[in-house]
Amino acid sequence: MRHAGTDNLVFFIEFKLYYAITEIQIMSEKPDSKRRDFLQLSTLSIGAVGTAAFIWPFLKSMSPAEDTLALGTTEVDVSSIEEGQSVTVKWRGKPVFIRKRTKDEIDEAKTVNIEDLKDPEEDINRVKKDEWLVLVGVCTHLGCVPLGQKLTDSKGEYNGWYCPCHGSHYDTSGRIRKGPAPENLAVPPYSFLNDTTIKIG
């Protein structure tokens, strides 16, 4: 994986090298070609090769390492999570909340009047399976980690999550209901590999 700027730089060097070699071939075929021109083009081509050899290690270092790429996805076994329980896992350095919702929590999330929400979003658009809710556990106000994962935590006024930093309350779909947070808790990209394994990222 390379950045667009890296690809452009590599293309530029390859183009210059190709151009220089082509010019050398054309000049060498002309009987009246000047030795000076030939030497200039030779120097240019050698310089291009040297530049490419010098820059290549730097370009390679810009590509993510294999262990970094591995952190781009996280597989979670959810077979041991009971109804009403939550777990927290790490994904790209951020906490991700996984909750197996109860029927009451699902019903509560589905019956909310969308017009009453600060960041309107239907529950059905935030889950892939009704009972499983997967959220990035970072408050959208100033980046604190909301409470609500543990049974003893305060879950706020809407039975979801509560951010103690500035008092944002989230519901059982992770939607902001009260407080300064401007947006709902984010839903990361995820998929179900099977009935008991979630792949995040």
Catalytic residue IDs? 166
Q: Which amino acid is at 91?
A: W
Summarize the chain as % helix, strand, coil (round to 5): 35, 20, 45
| CA–CA separation, 159 and 155 (whole Å) | 5
> Which residues lie across from 194 on neighbouring strands?
197
> Which residues lie across from 167 on neighbouring strands?
none
- Degrees to nearest 5, angle at CA 72 with 130 and 143: 70
Under 8 Å between Cβ of 51 and 14: no
| CA–CA separation, 201 and 187 (whole Å) | 11
Alpha helices in the chain (DSSP H): 4-29, 35-62, 66-70, 103-110
